Amino acid sequence: MKLLGQNREPLWKEEFSVFANDERYVSRRQFAKFLVLTSFGMLVGNVWLLLKSVFLRKEQYPRQAIATVADLAVGQSKTFSYPTADDRCVLIRTGERRYVAFSQKCTHLSCAVYYSRDENALVCPCHKGYFSAQDGSVLQGPPPRPLPRIVLEQVGDALIARGVQVNGGSQS
Amino acid sequence: MRSHSPLPRQRGLTAISGALALIILLLIVQIWLLTASLESFLAGHLSVAVPGAIASALIFLACLGLYIFILRVDREVQQD
């Protein structure tokens, strides 16, 4: 180094010529950019929910025969798929002339609920969530919302599903 | 009229830290907003989605504004 002159910076300083303060500035700027991108991601999430809401309002559910009156005795239940093959539901005959149907997907963590005749309730076996067999409301356990209800119609002897009613909002 | 002079380094750092803190605060509100909107959507309250999206857009714009502010302050400090 001395051969090249006294005032010259040492070689390591030339090669690592970024000051600590400057480096901190850069990382803060990058951090800010990361935060803004995260904010944009959450905006995308909200817009996605908005679009889903718009399309869900317009969604038309099919009319589908799911059972006949003779299929179930009082207190019995039967599973079926509605509106798609992936959406499992449970139909319950709660009275002589009364039928109710609900989605089988627990509103807690989507385990399949089943009808317990002894307890007259829909039970989620995963975390012991209980739903009313009358209206699908939460009786106990961790589920935060009632079960989506399938809108039924009786035409002659046939039971027809014609919509899904989520808590508060009806789609049929 | 005051002449435009570059920001001293320490004041620039403080301004950037303040802006970062504000962005983080806004992000926390936005996370809560997204969670609340999702919860309402799953519960079938579809009307919540519109104000949720508008509020989220406003928060994003505020974050973007603060980010631009950070870039500007950074540029001024670099000139110092």
Residues A54, A74: one domain? Answer: no
Does any domain span residue A3? no
CATH number where A160 lies: 2.102.10.10
Rounded percentage of chain A residues whose pLDDT exceeds 70 = 85
Residues A72, A131: one domain? Answer: yes
Residues A43, A86: one domain? Answer: no
Task: Report the domain count for chain A.
Answer: 2
| Predicted local confidence at residue A54, as pLDDT | 85
C-beta separation of A107 from A119 below 8 A: no
C-beta separation of B26 from B59 below 8 A: yes
Mean pLDDT along residues A136-148: 93
User: Between A21, A32, A56, which is nearest B46 by CB?
Assistant: A56
Q: Which of A34, A3, A22, A170 is nearest to B44 (CA)?
A: A170
Residues A21, A94: one domain? Answer: no
Residues A163, A134: one domain? Answer: yes
Interface of B with A (CB under 8 A): 9, 13, 16-17, 19-20, 23-24, 26-27, 30-31, 33-34, 37-39, 41-47, 49-50, 52-53, 56-57, 59-60, 63-64, 66-67, 70-71, 74, 77-78
Nearest-angstrom CA–CA distance, B60 and B55: 9
Distance from CA of B32 to the nearest CA of A (A): 10
Residues A71, A155: one domain? Answer: yes
Pair of tokens at residue A78: 């039967």
Q: What angle do CA A84, A58, B37 make, to 5 degrees?
A: 90
Residues A70, A38: one domain? Answer: no
Q: What domain range includes position A26? A: 11-58
CB contact set of A124 (below 8 Å; sequence gap of 6+): A106, A108, A111, A112, A113, A130, A131, A141, A143
User: Between A46, A52, A167, which is nearest B43 by CB?
Assistant: A167
Residues A162, A95: one domain? Answer: yes
pLDDT in tens, B24-75: 999 999 999 999 999 888 888 888 899 999 999 999 999 999 999 999 998 8
Does any domain span residue A129? yes
Does any domain span residue A131? yes
> For A15, what's the count of Cα atoms within 13 Å in the CB-facing half-sphere?
3
